[in-house]
Structure 1
Amino acid sequence: MSSAISTPPAARVVADPLAWLTDDAAVRAAAGLHRELLVRQADSQDLNLASNDYLGLSGHPDVIAGAQRAVADFGAGATASRLVVGTTAAHLDFENEIADFLGWPAALCFSSGYLANVGAITALVGRGDLIVSDTGTHASLIDGCRLSRAHVVVVGRGDVEGVAQALRTNPFRRALVVTDSVYSIDGEPAPVAELYATASGAGAALLVDEAHALGVRGPGGRGLVAELGLSGAPGLIVTTVMSKSLGAQGGVVLASQLVRDHLIDRARPFIFDTGLNPAAVGAAHAALGILRANPDLPQRLRVNAARLAARCGGDEPAAAVVSLIIGDPHRAVAIAAGCRAEGVLVGCFRPPSVPQGTSRLRLTARADLDEQTIDHVAAVVNHVRAQVMSS
């Protein structure tokens, strides 16, 4: 028996199948569409008008305490999917509380608002069905439509007649109309009442994403659907998030008990994903309690948004968002960077988040800002914008 050690054959040289990424990155950079992560330090003193923390509750002592209690009671993670052992008493308590607050028979928590939208859409429609969406819907709604395998018709943003025509001219077994209630890019409201009437008249259901309306619009911040008197209406499903006005993390579907039961059985992002961590549930529950006890917070937020828009030369806002169109993505990035250097964080939205030629700054007001702070932010934004646009 030979004791010689065999030498492996020389490694075969092959072209890197991912080498195309270098060219793709260069194209994105040339178009002003390269993105970098902006790291927020724990001791940062920057004024943050880039987040969606509309009510300023993410750092509220009661919200932090709610997260800490939940961790102490249930641990750091849900430990499993909610169908195994990932549903805690905290999940059910929050679901009951938010359903009651928003005027719905039932609620179901997902690990994110993205998953709530994908889960609801894909569980409610499939092959042979019809979805009518519009060009203003959030990416999570768009992906839910794609993953559903239903036939999707896209109409213009807020185009009620386009929705009606799509429902009239496309055969379907079941049909679902999907929309944001408040569009995320510019904070404008969708014609939800008209869409509901149109969908109902054609035998279709309507799914409304209230992510940017909870805590912002409606009585006591209950959202645009509540403002229109449609909470709990038949054939209507509402999704919202715990990650904006409630300052935590997670998504929620609000609907009938029948829909909730169906989602538990059929929504893949609910069935196969680890349950939302207890800390997020506890924080969101505490934030909801603050909103209940302070129904003036949404009005305070909208007043601040109006002042910010007036100082920055933006349109009168219908929600919390002030959108300042710059046009060129390179300039939008430069203005955002210049504001950051002055200690003011603002959002910078470029394609594909917005249409070509409409790159913009997106400023989000908060209920906890005072007039002096808003005026300072506006002064920084106006100064930097003027410098960049004149260069």
Structure 2
Amino acid sequence: MKASWLDEFPARIKDLDAQHLRRKRRIVSPLVAARMQVDGREMLAFCSNDYLGLASHEAIIQAACEGAKKFGAGSGASPLVSGHSLANETLEHELAAFVGLPKALYFYAGYAANIGIIPALVGRGDAVFSDALNHACLIDGARLSRADIVPYEHANLSALSAALCASTAQRKLVISDAVFSMDGDIANIPALLALCEQHDALLLLDDAHGFGVLGPQGRGALAQFGLSGANASARVLYMATLGKAAGVAGAFVAGSEALIEWLLQKTRSYIFATAAPPMLASALSASLKLIAQDDWRRSDLALRIAQLRLGLQAGLKNSNWRLGESSTAIQALVIGSNEDALRVMQGLAERGIWVPAIRPPTVPQGTARLRIALSAAHTQEDVALLVQALTELSIA
């Protein structure tokens, strides 16, 4: 019998195992606060992007139930057919007002938003300038656009400036995470915008990890830098996800009336996909109110971030592990090898603590790490347990 290329997959999977790169899905159920049942075992979790602890909030759950009763469980069609409900329309107005931009477009998922937005903006002969540590959805969106992709060293504005100067493309698009998902650092958004103004470029920001957390009342990275409302620039498209700090699901992009209308007309991942269920839009409307009014959640989160950083800086001072420079809920503890990162993850699991080991290709070779995600749901005692466990494992 002739050999088939399908026979290669078992060997490929074994090769992933040999490199410590095979990933495992866990079956989880939420418990109280930051605790989860993971594969049948209770764990203290530092892996969720539920930064404000809203995913299980009773008001959001109640709004989702009421939305389902009013609109049904699904939307039934794409937004441009019959899937754009009153709940979705209302949410778009609320999102635009919340982030201080003229108009918003609501997507069913963040990945779908970015892989559709970029090809709607640029194509062959145009140029996309991409930070080296951008999220995969920005990278994939740039590839799908067929524009020339110009990567620049992470946060190196001199390199970006030189690349923009050298480009002869008529349309230039700069794409960047606002908060980088694996390191937790914040982009220099005012400087990025200044370069875009200088070189007639458009700036697309992915604020998946800043929305709800950064800025006054959690209004996001643009608001933190004073670049929303009356100071908003028509050169900025602001994208954020709604399944992290907002505690529900979906995403949106906001910007000028003209840009958002163009995206509505040309974004294939919006036009040809079933619209997000209106029950989710109802839940998100409730979430926006909680984000704005519950400043104590951001205050508690800031305290937990400071506690973790101080504790690890003291506990790991004689370790080769490196704690990244981050003031956000994402704290990267770089271990080095894939095998060592998995060993530390397993050591934490044995102590009832769940922190994921992040390995290539998500991060560069030799920088396997623990990605510690903090939440307002964590207590001072929770963080103390994690610091103690990591300190013990670093000297084991």
TM-score, normalising length from structure 2? 0.91
**Shift, 1:41, TM fit:** 3.2
Structure 1, 162-171 or 234-243: larger mean CA deviation: 162-171
Equivalent of 1:188, from 185, 189, 192? Answer: 185
Contact 1:53 1:247 in 2 (8 A): yes
Aligned counterpart, 2:28: 40
Structure 1, 262-271 or 330-339: larger mean CA deviation: 330-339
**Shift, 1:316, TM fit:** 5.6
Q: SS state of the match for residue 41, structure 1?
A: strand
Aligned counterpart, 1:3: none
Aligned counterpart, 1:328: 337
**Shift, 1:39, TM fit:** 1.3
Q: Within 2, Cα distance between the matches of 1:358 and 1:68?
A: 43
**Shift, 1:308, TM fit:** 1.6
Structure 1, 242-251 or 377-386: larger mean CA deviation: 377-386
Contact 1:309 1:315 in 2 (8 A): no
Aligned counterpart, 1:114: 111
Structure 1, 153-162 or 272-281: larger mean CA deviation: 272-281
Contact 1:306 1:316 in 2 (8 A): no
Aligned counterpart, 1:76: 73
Aligned counterpart, 1:104: 101
Matched, 1:346 2:355: yes
CA RMSD of aligned residues (A): 1.5
**Shift, 1:22, TM fit:** 2.1
Q: SS state of the match for residue 285, structure 1?
A: helix
Aligned counterpart, 1:261: 261
TM-score, normalising length from structure 1? 0.92
Pick closer, same or farther for the CA change 1:357–1:254 going to 2, 3 Å. same
Structure 1, 23-32 or 268-277: larger mean CA deviation: 23-32
Matched, 1:29 2:17: yes
Contact 2:138 2:175 in 1 (8 A): yes
> Deviations 1:251-274 (Å, cap 9, x if unpaired)?
110111111111111000000111
Q: Which structure: larger Rg?
A: 1
Q: SS state of the match for residue 22, structure 1?
A: helix
Matched, 1:164 2:161: yes
Q: Within 1, Cα distance between the matches of 2:43 and 2:54?
A: 17
Q: How does 1:76-225 map to 2 (within 5 A)?
A: 76-225=73-222
Q: Within 2, Cα distance between the matches of 1:154 and 1:368?
A: 37
Matched, 1:66 2:63: yes
Contact 1:336 1:347 in 2 (8 A): yes
Q: Within 1, Cα distance between the matches of 2:2 and 2:71?
A: 50
How many residues align? The count is 375
1:277 is matched by which residue type in structure 2? P
Structure 1, 216-225 or 132-141: larger mean CA deviation: 216-225
Aligned counterpart, 2:310: 310
> Deviations 1:267-311 (Å, cap 9, x if unpaired)?
000001111122322222211110111134223212211212222
Aligned counterpart, 1:9: none
Q: Within 2, Cα distance between the matches of 1:186 and 1:216?
A: 16
**Shift, 1:191, TM fit:** 1.4
Contact 2:92 2:106 in 1 (8 A): yes
**Shift, 1:152, TM fit:** 0.7
Pick closer, same or farther for the CA change 1:115–1:22 going to 2, 3 Å. same
Structure 2 stretches of 5 or more lacking a match? Answer: 32-36, 314-322
Structure 1 stretches of 5 or more lacking a match? Answer: 1-12
**Shift, 1:75, TM fit:** 1.5
**Shift, 1:385, TM fit:** 4.5
Pick closer, same or farther for the CA change 1:56–1:173 going to 2, 3 Å. same
> Deviations 1:286-345 (Å, cap 9, x if unpaired)?
111101111342232122112122223345631111111111111212222332232222
Aligned counterpart, 2:288: 288
1:81 is matched by which residue type in structure 2? S
Aligned counterpart, 1:252: 252
* Percent of residue pairs bearing the same amino acid type: 35
Structure 1, 377-386 or 152-161: larger mean CA deviation: 377-386
Q: Within 1, Cα distance between the matches of 2:51 and 2:16?
A: 31
4+ long deviations beyond 6 Å: none
Aligned counterpart, 2:375: 366
Pick closer, same or farther for the CA change 1:205–1:70 going to 2, 3 Å. same
Aligned counterpart, 1:377: 386
1:95 is matched by which residue type in structure 2? E
Pick closer, same or farther for the CA change 1:267–1:40 going to 2, 3 Å. same
**Shift, 1:42, TM fit:** 5.1
